[in-house]
Amino acid sequence: MKPFQQKQKIIPSASAKMELLKRAMMMFSTPFDADATTYLSAITSAGSALSATQRSAVNQLFIALKTANLWNSLVALYPFVGGTSAAHAINAKNPAAYGIAWKGTVTHSAAGIVGDGLTGYGDTGIVPAAVFGASNSSVAMGFYCNAGSLTSATQQDMGARNNDSQVLELQETSSSSWTNRQFGCYSDGQWVSGLNSAADTQGFLVGTTLAPNNSCL
């Protein structure tokens, strides 16, 4: 009869436990998209440090856009993360192109950007006729609004203008109540892509031209 022998208990070290935890987390975490990594590197180079939660949210945005087959249609994308003018200027679609040049008074924070309603705006350098074609018949633009409405027709949400004869913009209507926004393409005195309006709300607002004389907000 063999004598009873107690098995030796192996207790992993703290470093070994941490390594096992890291490997377990990697198995369930979402891999970082290559374009998201490029954008995040540009944010870091601009002097902004993002939290792990912010970095993950940016990554999920890129993945969602590609899953929805929207990524290749984008010309520019500005997530406005990083809290500074330098970080907010970066085009996430291609950090080497269409960086925003900020003009006038624009306040930058972790919540995004706010213009002063008089002098502040950002110039992306995008010329619609050169990028989308002269008719602008298949264009979309949008932004997320987390503040109140505009207060006059001289304040546009976003858009492009060439001597007031060619306009592509998302702005509030010229009604006395200023309760609606509109989107359209204006050329030589005519709205060539139609016009629709929607109640002014906070949230994600997108205007798109579906075809000549046909647009929606």
148 and 198 both lie in a single domain? yes
Residue at a domain's end among 100, 126, 152: 126
pLDDT of residue 10: 57
Q: Which of 81, 105, 126 is the last residue of a domain?
A: 126
Lowest mean pLDDT among 77-86, 119-128, 161-170, 172-181: 172-181
pLDDT in tens, 112-169: 998 887 899 999 998 877 787 766 667 788 888 887 666 665 567 788 776 656 677 7
In a domain, 15, yes or no: no
3-state class (DSSP) for residue 161: strand
Secondary-structure breakdown of the chain: helix, strand, coil percentages, each rounded to the nearest 5: 25, 30, 45
pTM to 2 decimal places: 0.76
Last residue of a domain, one of 126, 147, 178: 126
pLDDT tens by residue, 27-76: 455 689 999 999 999 999 999 999 999 999 999 999 999 999 999 999 99
H or E element in which residue 36 lies:
helix 34-45
Same structural domain, 114 and 134: no
Do 106 and 186 share a structural domain?
no
Which three-class secondary structure state does DSSP give residue 159? strand
Tell whether 174 and 116 lie within a shared domain.
no
Specify whether 132 is located in the same domain as 216: yes
Residues 132 and 122 in one domain: no
| Same domain membership, residue 158 and residue 73 | no
Residue 146 pLDDT: 80
Number of domains in the chain: 2
Assigned domain for 134 exists: yes
Give the residue from 102, 85, 97 showing the smallest Cα distance to 43.
85
Same domain membership, residue 154 and residue 96: no
- 110 pLDDT tier (thresholds 50, 70, 90): very high
Least confident of 4-13, 74-83, 103-112, 140-149: 4-13
Residue 1 lies in a domain: no
Q: Which domain holds residue 181?
A: 128-217
